[in-house]
Amino acid sequence: MKFLVDRCAGRRLAEWLRRQGHDVSEARTMPEDPGDAALLEMATEQTRVLVTIDTDFGALIYLGGAVHSGIIRLPDVPANDRIALMAQILLRHSETELAGAIVTASRTRIRFSHGPKGS
């Protein structure tokens, strides 16, 4: 599966995803922070699921009509818990289910919703 990991989601999560065999790009390796809208567009163009803790992407999608290839949001999830939560998501949900979904996960709940999708 292809992911774009936002800076705020952390390097350890990105490295763990790579060790699991996923194709991972990281915002932290970019020379400058491109901003949320550009990051979302980049993930969509590359057909990557964006992984973030930032809640601003919801506004871009639901209020701004931005398209996406899938987002996994981990707001309020401490860094030490992100890998375990991501492992649960990937174990329980297929690549097809995650593509185009907006997943908001906490330690107690995983919620799926859909907004405008990319190609």
What per-residue confidence (pLDDT) applies to 80?
A: 86
Helix-, strand-, coil-residue percentages of the chain, each rounded to 5? 45, 25, 35
The structure tokens listed for 107 are: 């330690």
For residues 74 and 16, is the Cβ–Cβ distance under 8 A? no
pLDDT band at 115 (very low <50, low <70, confident <90, very high): low
Give the integer Cα–Cα distance in Å for 119 and 100: 9
Neighbours of 16 (CB within 10 A): 18
Confidence band of 109 (pLDDT split at 50, 70, 90): confident
pLDDT attached to residue 77: 87
- pLDDT at position 119 is 40
pLDDT of residue 60 exceeding 70, the answer is yes
Residue 116 has pLDDT above 50, yes or no: yes
pLDDT at residue 18 in the model: 97
pLDDT, position 50: 96
Q: How far apart are CA 47 and CA 68, in angstroms?
A: 8
What are the residues whose beta carbons fall under 8 Å from the beta carbon of 13, sequence distance 6 or more? 5, 51, 82, 83, 86
pLDDT average, residue stretch 20-45: 91
Q: What is the mean pLDDT of residues 18-47?
A: 92
Question: Where is pLDDT greater, at 117 or 106?
Answer: 106
Q: In the predicted model, is pLDDT for residue 16 greater than 90?
A: yes
